[in-house]
Structures are given as C-alpha cells and as structure tokens.
Amino acid sequence: ALNRFVAQFGDLSCAVTGFVQCSQGPEGLLRLVLELASHPPVGVAAHSTSVEALQAAFLNRFDHERRAFADDLLQLARASYRLRDDDNIKLARIEAQVLTAIREGQRRIEERGPSGVAAELVGEILDTPQSSPSSANGHAQRTTEIDQRLKPRQLRGQPAGPGIARGPAHTVQNAADLLEFKHGEVLVCDAVDPNMTFVVPLAAAIVERRGGMLIHGAIIAREYGLPCVTGVANVTELVKTGDVVTVDGFLGLVTIGSTDLS
C-alpha cells in the first residue's frame, strides 16, 4: 500500500525547492509517518465531533423545503475548499515531470563529452542559474562570506502568525531535508509550498524568506495556531539546522541562540 501511495503521489515533493530527486523511495515517507504518529495533535479530544454529526447539525438548521439547497451548498463549499490547493498540487506534479525531463536531457548531453553546454542549456530553459560545480562553489563562497561578515543575533521580518515559540531550527534546502523534519523543530525555508504542508503539524513555528501575511505558509501557520515570521532576508543561509531560534510572531522577530522566555 505504501509503495502504491508513493508511486501515485511521490512526485509532489520533487519540486519543493526547485530541483530534486523524484526517485525517492518510501523510507522517508515512512519515517515521517512514524514521527507524526508519535506526536498526535494536542486537543483532538475537545474537537472529536464526527463529520457526520457536524453535517447533520448544519442541515438541521434548514427547513425541509430548503434541505436540498443546503446540501448543494455544503457540496459546493467542500469542492471549493479542495480547489484551494488542488491547482497547486496538480501544477507541481507537472513541474516535477518537466524537471525530470530536463535533468534527463542534461545527463544525455553530458554523456557526449565534458563541457558546460548542458548546464548552460538547462539555465536557458529555466531562466535561472544552474548548480554546476562552479556555481555550487560560488553559492558556498557567498554563504561563507555571509557567515564571515554577519554573526546575526536577531533577524527581522513580517509578523504573519501570532505567538512565540522556541526550538531547534530545521532549514529546508531540498526534499530530503523536508523528510527529516522532527517534532518541535522550527521550519525555516524559502517559502512553504502547498506540497510541504504535511510537515506543519510537527512544527513549533514557521520562518520563511519570502512573502507576507497572505503567503500560503502564513495562512497555514494561523490555521494551526503557530507563530510565523515571513520575509526574512537570507534566513535559509543565516539560520542553520540545529540552531536554537526564538520566533516572535507578534513583532516579526527571529532570535538566534538560546534566550530566556520567562
């Protein structure tokens, strides 16, 4: 059953950060499912009313003549709610396959002989710099330069979800990072894509490099009652996985290092 699930939906996480492997096996997903099962949502018992009971309570508010209208309204609301993210999911699956095809084309070109043509072609197709060895070294150099120039203590962004939380950061750079997410960690990423939402129940808070109050991650954070700060410049380079961070969703501040919340 797990293999069938991965075969049907496993490509959704491939384009989380632009490029990554679409050939991930079920191990990462299984590890994440076990992590979720080990930490069930708090307060579920207080909201344990069944879907059937809630549906009956809604329909019973309408008289007999309007019951069919109420049922149509409920079905429309359910369909609209699914459409909220389904378009992103379907487009992400298309994107994942496009990226797979591009990488396969790059591999075939490189088989013909060493040259920088393949990386240049991929860059032209995607209109973005590619991670050839030189560009990868350049990224590492820029990160090192940031580390040398800045030893940040406090970063400022947009307050997007009220609350204060502290925990170890988990900076997501690729799909493999996402599948290693643990309960109580602070999700630090470029932006929360709809295809990343499955880890949010484990998070203590969310910090994003892009966006504002209405970005997807901010909306999800408020739905789960998590502190959230968005629009934090260079946060995925300045905050490393394992750094202890305090997220102030009231003021839009991210403090790096242990601090006394009392």
Concatenating the DSSP letter of every residue in the chain gives: -HHHHHHHHGGGGTTTTS---S---SHHHHHHHHHHHHSPPTT-GGG---HHHHHHHHHTTS-GGGHHHHHHHHHHHHHHHHHHHHHHHHHHHHHHHHHHHHHHHHHHHHHT-S-SHHHHHHHHHHTS----HHHHHHHHHHHHHHHHH---SEEE-EEEE--EEEEEEEE-SSHHHHHT--TT-EEEES---GGGGGGGGG-SEEEESS--TTSHHHHHHHHHT--EEE--TTHHHHS-TT-EEEEETTTTEEEES-----
Q: What is the pLDDT at residue 15? A: 46
Q: What is the pLDDT at residue 259? A: 58
Domain boundaries, the chain: 51-108, 154-256
Q: What is the pLDDT at residue 209? A: 95
Q: What is the pLDDT at residue 127? A: 61
pLDDT in tens, 182-199: 999 999 999 998 778 889
Q: Which residues of the chain have pLDDT under 70?
A: 1-3, 5-26, 41-48, 85, 113-118, 122-123, 125-150, 258-262
Q: What is the pTM of this model?
A: 0.67
Per CATH, the architecture of 154-256 is what? 3-Layer(bba) Sandwich (3.50)
pLDDT in tens, 104-144: 888 888 787 666 666 777 667 666 544 443 344 444 555 55
Q: What is the pLDDT at residue 25? A: 56
